[in-house]
Structure formats: structure tokens, C-alpha cells
Amino acid sequence: MAFGVIIIGDEILSGRRSDKHLPKVIELLGARGLSLEWAQYVGDDPERITETLRRSFASGDIVFSTGGIGATPDDHTRQCAAAALGVPLALHPDAEAAIRERIRDMHTGADPVNYQSPENLHRFQMGTFPQGCEIIPNGYNKIPGFSIRDHYFVPGFPVMAWPMIEWVLDTKYAHLHHQTPHAEKSLLVFELPESTLTPLMERIERDFPGVRVFSLPSVGDTERGGIYARRHIDLGVKGEPEAVAAAFVKLREGVHELGGDVVEPAAPGEGTPDRERRSGPRAGF
């Protein structure tokens, strides 16, 4: 099953806030042997959110959605999810119980809690979810998120969202953890353009089904320094470990045959960027 993420909020698109969810979701998935297949950013436009969710629900993917599940005028995600599925909104009983507990925790007066006050009635709106959903517990302030059709809706606040996403991965999808062995090997190629390497890349993918080749050109990373400061291509293969090992041998041989200067990044603890393993026709320079 593919994993996707939808990150909602005008503040991300305007630059008022920098998105931290995408790298964190990649990290949380990677720690469990899983990977992210796609990501999408959407502003606070109800029609666009609804259409995005309509397509996403139809995909059959496992999707995390961050942001817009509050009860202020710029929060539309709950309503849009219901519209995309063609179901009504309803106050979820478990969400209502959690919000009641949160209200009691916040109450400081001597008088009994008035659950019918305007402020508290507004808080209960945060538990109004698409009919047929389940809640996602929120250990930070008890205001839950919700899930429906393998879609998991969490707040935009990282301190809440990230533990909730972890809970989903470990509670709902533990059976998927580390189910697909995966390996990735790459080398740095100097002195060759991508156009020259493309036929080799196509041949590797043809000869090793299930192995994917990647090519990441760089004009030079001066911040990283060393060999990385030179113009290069990070060329590699990824997929099933045994197939990757065999494909990498052929990839390296192919680059040598094309006259490329190759550097294989050292494994952790084997050296610094200036002490990589060189090979190729100009290995001694």
C-alpha cells in the first residue's frame, strides 16, 4: 500500500511558516521500513481541499493529512472530508468524551462546568467529524483527530501531529513494518553528463527488474565541501538488496566504460568526504 501526505494551510504556501511535516513523515516511515510515495500542499480553499481529498480517497492509498481540523473560520478539512465522501458531519461520541475531559481539565472555577457555554459549545465542534469515522487520540491536549477510509487527519501543530502519526503507524499498520527489504547504493560521477549516462541507466532497469535507478545532478555543494564542491552526479540504484548489489556492480562497470571518474561515498565511520574510495580512469588525480 502506498503512503501519501497532504499538508494543508495558507501559512505554508505564503511562507509565514515553514513546513516541517514532510521531512518528519519521511523519517517516521523510514524508521519502520516504509516510504512516502507522494506529497501535496493545499491552501485553505474548501473547493480545492475537497477535490484533493476526493481524488485521494479514490486512490486507495494510506494518507496523512495535517492541518485545518480546528473550529476557526479558516479550518475546512473536516467539512471537506465529509463533502468528498458524501456523508454528513456528526459529533463523534468518543471525541465528545475526550473534549469533555479536556474542558474539565481546563476548568479552574468553583462552579460546576457549564458544557453549554458558547466557548464550550465551540470546542465540541472540533469533535464533529464525517459520519462513520474513528478518532485518533491526541496525548498533548486530548482533542482528537479522525480517520476514515485509510486517511488520517491530524492537527497542523507538530507537537500534536507527529505522535498521532506514530500512533497510527504502530497501531494500524504494524503488519507492514519492514516487510519489504530495501537497499540503496550510489556513487558520485564526475566528467560525464546525464545524457551520456541515460542509456546505461535504462539498461540497468531493463536487466534488473524491480531495481530503480536514480540520478541527482549537482552543480557543486560548497557548504558540504571536499569532493562534493565539484560538479557531479549522484548516481545509484535502489530496491531489493540482492538485486541492488548485482545492479550496482554493473552500474559502476558501465560508468568506467564510459570514461567517467567515480567516487563511492564511504560507509559511516570509514572516512570523510575527502577520503572516499576513488576508481576510474582518473582515480589518481
Instruction: Let me know whether 266 and 126 are in one domain.
Output: no
Domain-located, residue 274:
yes
- State the pLDDT at residue 223: 76
CA-based nearest residue to 213, from 254, 176, 181, 179: 254
Instruction: Let me know whether 154 and 196 are in one domain.
Output: no
Instruction: Let me know whether 26 and 136 are in one domain.
Output: yes
- State the pLDDT at residue 266: 60
Helices (H), 68-154: 77-85, 93-106, 118-124
Instruction: Let me know whether 191 and 127 are in one domain.
Output: no
Average pLDDT of adjacent 10-residue blocks, the chain of 285 residues: 95 95 97 96 98 97 97 96 98 97 90 92 96 97 97 97 98 92 91 93 95 91 78 92 95 94 66 42 39
Instruction: Let me know whether 195 and 153 are in one domain.
Output: no
Which range of residues forms the domain containing residue 75?
A: 3-176
CATH code for the domain of 38: 3.40.980.10
Residue 208 and residue 202: Cα distance in Å, rounded? 10
Instruction: Let me know whether 26 and 118 are in one domain.
Output: yes
How many domains is the chain partitioned into structurally? 2
Instruction: Let me know whether 243 and 154 are in one domain.
Output: no
Domain-located, residue 285:
no
- State the pLDDT at residue 277: 44
- Of the three residues 153, 176, 199, the one that is the final residue of a domain is 176
Contact in structure between 61 and 88 (CB atoms under 8 Å): no
Domain-located, residue 61:
yes
- State the pLDDT at residue 149: 97
Neighbours of 163 (CB within 10 A): 15
Instruction: Let me know whether 166 and 195 are in one domain.
Output: no
- Of the three residues 176, 209, 225, the one that is the final residue of a domain is 176
Domain-located, residue 152:
yes
- Of the three residues 158, 176, 194, the one that is the final residue of a domain is 176
Residue 214 and residue 225: Cα distance in Å, rounded? 22
Instruction: Let me know whether 190 and 170 are in one domain.
Output: no
Domain-located, residue 75:
yes
Strand 145-148 to 151-154 pairing: antiparallel
Instruction: Let me know whether 118 and 158 are in one domain.
Output: yes
Instruction: Let me know whether 51 and 76 are in one domain.
Output: yes
Domain-located, residue 284:
no
